[in-house]
Amino acid sequence: MQTDGRHEPARTVHHLIPTAHFDALAAGRGGPDTIRFLRTGEYSRRLLLLRALLDAVEVTPGALGPLPSVDSAWDILTAAQEHAPDGFRELLLHPQVGVWLGHGVRRMRHTAWGDGPLWTDLGHLHAVCAVAALRAGLPLRTTVPLRDGTAMFPTLGLAHLPGHPHWATAEVVVEGGRLRIGPHGARVGPPEPPAPSEPPEPSEPSDGDAPGWQGLRRLHAHAAGRRRDVWLDDIDPYRDLSEPLAPERLDAAETARWQERFALALEVLEDSDPESAAALAEGLRSLTAVAPSTSGVVLSASSGDAFGGLLTSLPPDPVTFAVTLVHEFQHTKLGALLHLLTLERDGGAERHHAPWRDDPRPLSGLLQGAYAFLGITDFWSRHLDRVPRAGRATAEFEFALSRRQTREAVDTLGADPALTAHGRRFLAGMAARLPAWAADGRVRPGVDAMAAFAATDHRTGWRIRHLVPAPDDVRALARAFVTGAGADCPVADSAVVPDLADRWPHARTRLIRQVLAPSSDGERPLAPSPADRALVTGDPAAPGAYARLLADDPESAEAWTGLVLALASGDPAARPLLRRPELLRAVHRELRAIGTPADPLRVAHWLAAGRVTGPPG
């Protein structure tokens, strides 16, 4: 059994992690065998969560309200597991069942809330029982909760029973291989299976809809030499990462777009990286459709409760879809590994710069992000020589940017003492991938310079927004400026004080992407400010343009970031500003407060020319 190096056992004594799987995961890889191993661990975790939930419900009076007892549920689940172990395992490993289990346990522990009475969430247990009985060929009569006249049966579909109160119950009967729900004489459920002489077309899977019933749809693609199906979930209330959602059915045209882009995304991934495509096909079970952002940026997420599932808005093209799948599946793999051992012991303070996030991140969040971008960098490295000529510059930029972001995050992680021995070994595996990417000469110097600029832009903007210098240091610098002295004060570390209210448009990086791929149908076309356009195109008028913006809004983090970048890009003497850019805005603010407003350009040049000492950022 592995330990974390402190003579303490890992989180479980039932799953030994083979060195080959650990090392493959640390490198951001892992083939189908590794994914099957992780699924085994997740199945054990689901069983433990199920037992914990049932035990908690049993000792909580009224937890199931008008629904059948825990004992009846336990009996049918154990019988289903005995009669059809594979079907029971797949049901329990369904991502939305995992979300429900996690949500139910948290509701019992009063760390999560629902939109209805407790029994409406906990009672979903009986819908799971009904599906388990159906899979095992066992008869069952039970009662399930209704949510606004609907009841979800995981991996099957959603029954609609109008005319009921918002929170109600309905009887369910499973017999003869069929499931029916509803009042006597008006039962609904999955449609009759097709006759043996009329099988459905393999390339055209039915959505299984019928009067009063919406079937859970599937997407299909080919990977590792065979067809792979995943659920396209738009109806399960537990398809989100937190509280239950109402169904939001996709129309036929939207579903067709999902099918087309998903199939093409798997083609892209298999062409670039067959092993990753096979691993993803082994582990991915469910895609949840979410509404797109107003800017057109793809929104995606995953959860440790939902191994094999991810949420995403529809990516605009197959390559972006492939990147999204890689990104979230990296989170899935790491989340499963973290259920088996401990990689870090941190208090959870939001204190680290993540080069892809607007907000400060705790150590655990930075580790998750770095691991996701390890996979993204790997994808772009493998895909780079397969893109058409028209997309080559964009692919070079994405590869160059992601390798810089990953390098910075890995360096930050390596300097944090909260990693365990397992965590340091895991990080060493991640870091071992970086030198080859750094030495990769396929990125043209001009494109690499754009990536370096974008990375610096993000880091500078993050510091200006979220780092606050010590007030005494700021006052000392302001006094030195007023008296004509140099900026030669010792300065302590800045404190992390998250500012989550400030809008962060990422306009300059978006402008770079737009310049590299002017016909892209991804993010919506950008109308950049004259200052941003001047900076990105190398116009020496950029500093003055940002100074004019600051005259109108002296607190604008975006304008201060642009000013620092414009000065540092055009004058090597101004590059010291990049080390502690938050000082510039803070000193200018103090000067205004004491009644000595000053030109931002003058303050910036004065600060850059000084010798501000102390620990660098």
Q: Token pair 């330990």 is at which residue?
A: 3
User: 308-340: per-residue pLDDT in tens?
Assistant: 999 999 999 999 999 999 999 999 999 999 999
Instruction: Give the confidence band of 104 by pLDDT, cuts at 50, 70, 90.
Output: very high
Instruction: Give the confidence band of 294 by pLDDT, cuts at 50, 70, 90.
Output: confident
C-alpha span between 27 and 24 (Å, rounded): 5
Q: Token pair 């972001």 is at which residue?
A: 405
What's the whole-number mean pLDDT along residues 157-180? 94
Question: Is residue 520 predicted with pLDDT exceeding 60?
Answer: no
C-alpha span between 276 and 291 (Å, rounded): 27
Q: 361-398 b/e with 16+ CB inside 10 Å = b?
A: bbbbbbbbbbbbbbbbbbbbbbbbeebeeebbbbbbbb
What's the whole-number mean pLDDT along residues 489-497? 94
What's the whole-number mean pLDDT along residues 374-389? 97
Strands 226-233 and 286-289: parallel
User: What residue spans define the domains of the chain?
Assistant: 1-30+343-425, 31-192+205-338, 444-609
Percent over 70 (pLDDT), the chain: 92
Question: Is residue 263 predicted with pLDDT exceeding 60?
Answer: yes
What's the whole-number mean pLDDT along residues 3-30? 74
Question: Is residue 302 predicted with pLDDT exceeding 80?
Answer: yes
Task: Give which of 373, 368, 334 is closest to 42, Cα–Cα.
Answer: 334
What's the whole-number mean pLDDT along residues 583-606? 97
Tokens at residue 510, please?
């978006």
**For position 529, what pLDDT does the model report?**
93
**For position 489, what pLDDT does the model report?**
85
C-alpha span between 77 and 135 (Å, rounded): 11
C-alpha span between 464 and 519 (Å, rounded): 33
Question: Is residue 530 predicted with pLDDT exceeding 90?
Answer: yes
Question: Is residue 198 predicted with pLDDT exceeding 50?
Answer: no
Strand ranges of the sheet holding 286-289, from the earlier edge strand across to the other edge:
217-223, 226-233, 286-289, 309-312, 300-301
Percent over 90 (pLDDT), the chain: 86
The SS3 assignment for 561 reads helix
> What does the angle CA 327 – CA 329 – CA 334 come to, to the nearest 5 degrees?
105
pTM for the model: 0.93
**For position 612, what pLDDT does the model report?**
78
**For position 360, what pLDDT does the model report?**
97
Question: Is residue 601 predicted with pLDDT exceeding 60?
Answer: yes
Instruction: Give the confidence band of 1 by pLDDT, cuts at 50, 70, 90.
Output: very low
Q: DSSP labels for 279-345?
A: HHHHH--EEEE-PPPTT-PPPEE--TTSTTEEEE---SSHHHHHHHHHHHHHHHHHHHHHTTS--B-
If you average pLDDT over every residue of the chain, what do you get? 92
**For position 10, what pLDDT does the model report?**
41
Q: Tell me the residue length of the chain.
A: 617
User: 336-363: per-residue pLDDT in tens?
Assistant: 999 999 999 999 999 999 999 999 999 9
**For position 184, what pLDDT does the model report?**
57
- Adjacent-strand bridge partners of 443: none
**For position 185, what pLDDT does the model report?**
52
C-alpha span between 256 and 252 (Å, rounded): 6
Question: Is residue 269 predicted with pLDDT exceeding 80?
Answer: yes
